[in-house]
Amino acid sequence: MARVKEIHVSVGRTVGLPNYGSIRFDDAEVVELEPGDDPNQVYADAYARVAGRLSAKLQQMGVK
């Protein structure tokens, strides 16, 4: 049976700028699973970290 060895989580948001421009903010993380790890829990934890970092960066820059 195949086994998950690593999980890649990426979160991004595109923000509109004046004059019809836009900028994209992204954050990502690759997590290597250890034997006995629950892939679903590892994914949920990684997603929370990545989304939290992106949200903090957007807040820091004043993006709503």
Q: What are the domain boundaries of the chain?
A: 5-49
Residue type at 42 in one-letter notation: V
d(Cα 26, Cα 28) in Å, to the nearest integer?
7
**Single pTM value for the model:** 0.85
Confidence of residue 15 (pLDDT cuts 50, 70, 90): very high
The per-residue pLDDT for range 17-51, each reduced to its tens digit, is 888 999 999 999 999 999 999 999 999 999 999 99
Q: Give the tokens for residue 53.
A: 């970092």
**Which DSSP string corresponds to 21-43?**
-EEEEEEEEEEEPPTT--HHHHH
